[in-house]
Structure 1
Amino acid sequence: MELGKKIRELFGSRSSKDATERALAEASDLADQAAVRQATPRRGLFEGVAPEIPTEVRVTSTAAESDQAVPAALKVAAAWAWRIFLVAGLVYFVGWILGFLSEVAIPLAVASLLAAALKPLANRLHAWGLPKGPAAAVTLLGGILLIAGSLTLIINSIAGQAGELSQQVVRGFGQLEQWLMNSPLPIDQSWFRLDEWGTRIQQFLVDSQSTIAAAAGDIGTSIGHFLAGVAICLFSLFYFLYDGRGIFSFLLNLMPRSAQARADAAALRGWQSLSAYVRATVLVALVDAIGVLIVALALRVPLAPALAALVFLGAFIPLVGAFVSGFVAVLVALVAVGWVQSLIMLAGIIVVMQVEGHILQPFLLGRAVHLHPLAVLLAIAMGIVIAGIVGALLAVPILAFVKTFVQELYRQSHEVVAHEVPPPSTTPPTPPGPLTPAEAATA
């Protein structure tokens, strides 16, 4: 349009020679610009250069300018910080709820561990033809009878050797007293007089009547809570063995439908890992107890079966449980049979711990779930801080379940991404052909 207008001005205006030359120059410039516009799209298509796009004018506010002034590293740190605080708050809230309901939460957790250990036996009985209810009942009663038989054996062992052990304790205490009296340590001789000890004990009991009464009340309350927890644990254990899958399916329905399949698969892998861990821990504890029993019987240490049972229970706390419970056997050996036998007992316990740490745990627990020793130690420490001995007992199994659960979710998320994103094409793109006159005109 502008080119035609300029041409009309060229031929319509006869006013002056300068006007004519100026019009011819402007017409030539417009023709050159039109040629450049027609050549640019064709070159962009063949050479991979995008057509020039007009620059967009953006109006930035003061808040946007200040946000751009913040370094990227600080933005990432802030994003991580509020997410970490949110997760920590959620964990603290869940821990507070579980602590408030500890009289129910702890028996449920113990029942879950026992179900993980006994569920294969109940499944085997059901496969042999027993209905699910009788199979769960037989498994539960068998476990109760096993525990009751073990406790009866331990109590009878203690009762049968109590007289001999008391004499050995008195004799050992007398030897210790004589050594302290003849030692160069600055100890007052009044500490070795039995009549003064009787007076001190009587005076201590008189001064601590209120404390003793409060402690007796607390002990009575604790015994009541313990019996109630045992009842809850046994009742829950039966239903976990009978209909554990149905209970979990009910809890699974509370989640969003889109996440149920993934959560179910991850929980199943976590439960399998937990079951394998508990069974492997039982085998490791049994081997530790047998090793300590053999050494104690060889040294003629009294209460050898009771000490072996104590080591068996302590071995359920990895790394430290068996050693701490075995140290009780060393003290009994020191008091009952002498310091030489106690050193031999200590050496035997160290050998048993080495066999556990370098052979049994890598062979059995390594197949169940691989946990770093530092992670195990920190989990036990946090469990003791949160819930005492019960926390130390439950910390590592919970860690094993959570680790496998998270790993399975992570694996499933990567599989989903791999299915959704197509693989990159290896064939080179086909170069476009020459433009037609119609395409050139529209470009």
Structure 2
Amino acid sequence: MFGRRSAPPRPIAPPVPVRAVQSPWRDGLGLLAIRSVQIIAVVVLAAGVIWGLRTLTVVVIPVLLAIVFASAFEPVMKWLRARMPSVLATVIVLLGIVVVIGGVAWTMVRAVMSQWSDLYDSAVAGVNQVIEWVNQLPFAQNQAQIDEWWASIQDFIGGSSIGSTIGSGAVAGVGAVASFVTGLVLMVVVLFFFLKDGPVIWGFLLRPFRGEWFDRMERIGTKSVNTLGAYVRGTAAVAAVDAIGIGLGLFILDIPLAFPLTLLVFLLAFIPIVGATLAGILAALLALVDGGWMDNGLLAAIIVVAIVVVVNQLEGNFLQPVLMGRALKLHSLVILVALVIGTSVASILGAILSVPITAVVWGIVQVWDGENLPARWARKKPVRA
């Protein structure tokens, strides 16, 4: 009753507003600078990786080819593993790959190289006829400029400098042969282990991953092997159909050098878009020089071009969707960009491997977040009406 009075509560002071710290990295220009530095770092890293791969081509190229062949023949290995020991299945598949592919490659190289001088001379004669026809047009370029273009083409092909470089390049030729043999042996050895222990090797590489990343890497491995195998098998089938279709047309027209041209079509068909075009141009030039049983070389060349166009249309609209699937079909612009990059990095081999590698990368994007769930940035967005 007479207790001590409690002191009245003190008024609470209002909070002092905290002033935002101004930083040059927080505005739009700062964000742009950060992104620019990140992009530069990624570009430098990619350039370093490409430089390292080009430096170690003796190892990188055989390993890449071994991965390609192992992926292409994975269904055969699965079928054989279920019926016999893994080592025996590996030996059978490896011997089959070496014998079949080696025999086909040897036949093609021998047929083409034995008649390469005739092919080259006929192509030169065809180009000269085209130049004469172009000179008769009212809007034709002057002869000096045409000769300059033709000289550039000859230098690119290497026909005009082969004789002058044989003697000086003998040592380099021996080194190239030694590198080729080394790479071939390494590829066969690596391919043996990929065929025999491919799943075991991939399982070992997955050990550092846990949880969501483990599932993601499993999806990436499966998708990569399936995509690469389907692409290689489909491309080989399409190349065979192209060679048969165009080759039959050349034989029916009795075009000279029809057999090496057919083999050349098969080889170039592994380079999408560009390869078929180059083969068609070469076949048309030969038909222009010698029309076979037709007296009119120009008419024979037009028929050859028509055959090439029809075969390519059948390939693009019917064969590729059936043999390779819609999921592996890349846009033509993507294919052209991949070809340019691959050719600039690794010449002909880069042109051949760039498109399947691009297809594998796109397949990885398609399963990044789930079995049928692409990465967030690659998902289709709803289109506003």
More displaced, 138-147 or 343-352?
Answer: 138-147
Matched, 1:334 2:334: no
1:66 maps to what in 2? 22
Q: For 2:242 and 2:13, how far apart are their aligned partners in 1?
A: 80
Q: Aligned in 2, Cα 1:270/1:150: closer, same or farther, shift over 3 Å?
A: closer
Q: For 1:410 and 1:66, how far apart are their aligned partners in 2?
A: 38
Structure 1 letter corresponding to 2:319: L
Aligned residues: 340
After superposition, give the CA deviation of every residue in 1:169-222 in whole Å (9 maximum; x if it has no partner). 69x969x79x98xx99999xxxxxxxxxxxxxxxx99xx97x553323222222
2:247 maps to what in 1? 293
More displaced, 133-142 or 355-364?
Answer: 355-364
After superposition, give the CA deviation of every residue in 1:29-83 in whole Å (9 maximum; x if it has no partner). x9xx99xx9xxxxxxxxxxxxxxx96433555xxx6331x766433443343333
Matched, 1:365 2:321: no
Note the aligned Cα RMSD (angstroms): 4.0
2:171 maps to what in 1? 217
Q: For 1:166 and 1:380, how far apart are their aligned partners in 2?
A: 29
Native 8 Å contact 2:284 2:302 kept in 1: yes
Q: For 2:5 and 2:325, how far apart are their aligned partners in 1?
A: 89
1:145 maps to what in 2? 99
Q: Aligned in 2, Cα 1:342/1:65: closer, same or farther, shift over 3 Å?
A: same
Q: Aligned in 2, Cα 1:66/1:134: closer, same or farther, shift over 3 Å?
A: same
1:14 maps to what in 2? none
Q: For 1:140 and 1:95, how far apart are their aligned partners in 2?
A: 30
1:19 maps to what in 2? none
1:93 aligned to which of 41, 48, 70: 48
Write out aligned runs for 1:97-112 (5 A).
97-112=52-67
Q: For 2:276 and 2:75, how far apart are their aligned partners in 1?
A: 26
1:84 maps to what in 2? 39
- Match of 1:65, SS state, is coil
Native 8 Å contact 2:216 2:369 kept in 1: no
Which structure would you say has the larger Rg?
1
Q: For 2:87 and 2:60, how far apart are their aligned partners in 1?
A: 24
Question: How far off is 1:306 after superposition?
Answer: 2.1
2:238 aligned to which of 280, 284, 306: 284
2:256 aligned to which of 294, 299, 302: 302
1:325 aligned to which of 279, 285, 307: 279
Gaps in structure 1 of 5+ consecutive residues? 7-29, 38-52, 188-203, 418-443
After superposition, give the CA deviation of every residue in 1:272-319 in whole Å (9 maximum; x if it has no partner). 122122221112111111111111111112332322221111111111
- Match of 1:139, SS state, is helix
Q: For 2:290 and 2:176, how far apart are their aligned partners in 1?
A: 33
Q: For 1:351 and 1:216, how far apart are their aligned partners in 2?
A: 44
Q: Aligned in 2, Cα 1:212/1:293: closer, same or farther, shift over 3 Å?
A: closer
Structure 1 letter corresponding to 2:97: G
Native 8 Å contact 1:310 1:325 kept in 2: yes
1:125 aligned to which of 77, 80, 93: 80
Q: For 1:309 and 1:5, how far apart are their aligned partners in 2?
A: 109
Q: Aligned in 2, Cα 1:304/1:146: closer, same or farther, shift over 3 Å?
A: farther
Give the TM-score normalised by structure 2: 0.75
Q: For 1:237 and 1:256, how far apart are their aligned partners in 2?
A: 26
2:312 maps to what in 1? 353
1:193 maps to what in 2? none
Q: Aligned in 2, Cα 1:78/1:252: closer, same or farther, shift over 3 Å?
A: same
Compare the two structures and name the one with the higher helix fraction. Answer: 1
More displaced, 132-141 or 256-265?
Answer: 256-265
